Amino acid sequence: MNFLRLISVLAGLAIAATTANAQISLTPGGAQAPASAPAKNKKETPKQAPKATTAAKKPAATPKSTPTPTPSPTANFDDPNVDLVYGAYQRGLYKTAFDLATTRAMFNNDPKAMTMLGELYANAMGVRRDYAKAAEWYQRAADAGDREGMFALAMMKLSGRGAKADREQAVRLLASSAKLGEPKAAYNLALLYIDGQTLPQDLRRSAELLRLAADAGNPEAQYALATFYKEGTGVPKDIDKAVRLLQAASLADNVDAEVEYAIAMFNGTGTPQNQSAAVALLRKAARQNSPIAQNRLARVLVKGQGAPVDKVEGLKWHLVAKTAGKGDPELDEALANLSPEDRAKAQDAARRWIGNTNK
């Protein structure tokens, strides 16, 4: 698992994923928190962030730097004045949303409607995709003080999509948006401080921004900040805080956090041990196509820890994980003596799973 699908999440922190030990003490291999340089790690929108830790043996503390992710903005309008516009948007009535937003933007100078128009043009919703027009509307919204318009325009300027790439201006827009309380802006700005290319690397400042976004409920920031607390990066090391953040992010369906929180519960690290709940969470993450979760689930099923022994199901998940590059010689050995009939069942189940997920 990598820090990004945090790289999609925490752009810049990479996670080393290794196999668990023979006793299946599912010890997480934390995403390498950057020491002097950011560890490689996602967008939504950054989903590129220290996308945090994965289950594995504890990785060496040598971080790698990765390019800063430039996730695409997601509309999240909270102004009651745009209920009709946003309501149409939520129902998929994009042409209606476009018409309503155009009226409000043109005649009421409504910055939320301007941001909505940028969103619709950027994503070809109800109108032909036009990044230049999207950037124009985001600019108008930003000039009118809309934090989401600022964030969206910053993302376009980071990527050079629809507007000339201008990282310095993007940073200013992110800072302004974050100051106005936009969690996605705080998160992405944190990534830039981690990456150390656009901005000087400042892990303490990054941790502060991640905390702002995490407190606002951003699951990628929660996961990234959990990694910081786990490794003592930019903040004092605190396993209990790390696990609470992992729990919060996992409740928001952050797959990487689900895996790490499951491992914490399995081992009783920073939280009461609950192996059956850990296995249930590993199943959920495995079904979301996390190779680390698939590998750990295979191990517990083969060993019968936290769940009844089921070598056929275990081999199925082992084969699925192996196809995704998460091989495990110990499982190869443990399952070598499976009967031909059971092996055929497992292989057939793995083929069906892989076929369905590739459709």
**186-228 confidence digits (pLDDT tens):** 999 999 999 999 999 999 999 999 999 999 999 999 999 999 9
| Closest to 331 in 3D by CA, of 1, 15, 16, 21 | 21
pLDDT at 264: 98
DSSP letter at 326 equals: -
Q: What is the pLDDT of residue 74?
A: 44
Q: Write out the two tokens for 3.
A: 């820090």
- The helix or strand, by DSSP H or E, that contains position 49, with its residue range, turns out to be strand 49-51
d(CA 20, CA 301): 14
Sheet containing 49-51, strands listed edge to edge, beginning at the edge strand earlier in sequence: 3-4, 6-10, 49-51
Give the per-residue pLDDT at 40. Answer: 36
Domain limits, the chain = 80-165, 274-357
Would you put residue 148 in left (φ > 0), alpha (ψ -120 to 50) or beta?
Answer: alpha
Predicted confidence (pLDDT) per residue in 6-60, tens digit: 333 343 333 222 223 322 334 333 333 333 333 333 333 333 334 433 333 333 3
3-state secondary structure of 65: coil
Place of tokens 């985001």: 138
pLDDT recorded at residue 263? 97
Distances (CA, A) of 2 to 48, 258, 290, 350: 10, 13, 10, 23
**pLDDT given at position 240:** 97
Exposed/middle/buried for 265, CB within 10 Å: 0-12, 13-18, 19+? buried
Cα–Cα nearest to 294, from 269, 328, 264: 328
Average pLDDT, the chain: 82
What whole-number distance in Å separates Cα of residue 186 and Cα of residue 174?
A: 7
Strands 49-51 and 6-10: antiparallel
Q: pLDDT value at position 147?
A: 98
Using one digit for the tens of pLDDT, what is the confidence trace for 87-122? Answer: 999 999 999 999 999 999 999 999 999 999 999 999
pLDDT cut 70: percent of the chain above it? 77
The pLDDT assigned to 93 comes to: 96
Joined tokens for residue 25: 């003490």
pLDDT of 81 above 70: no
Alpha helix segments (H runs only) across 235-339 = 239-251, 255-267, 275-287, 291-303, 311-323, 329-334
Q: How many CB atoms lie within 10 A of CB 166?
A: 15
Write the pLDDT tens digit of every residue in 157-176: 999 988 788 999 999 999 99
pTM for this model (two decimals): 0.76
Q: pLDDT at position 221, please?
A: 98
d(CA 288, CA 5): 12
Give the class (CATH, top level) of 80-165: mainly alpha
Chain centroid to CA 318: 24
**How many CB atoms neighbour CB 128 within 10 A?**
7
Confidence band for 1, pLDDT divided at 50, 70 and 90: very low
Give pLDDT, residue 356. 86
- Kindly report, residue by residue over 280-308, the tens digit of the pLDDT: 999 999 999 999 999 999 999 999 999 99
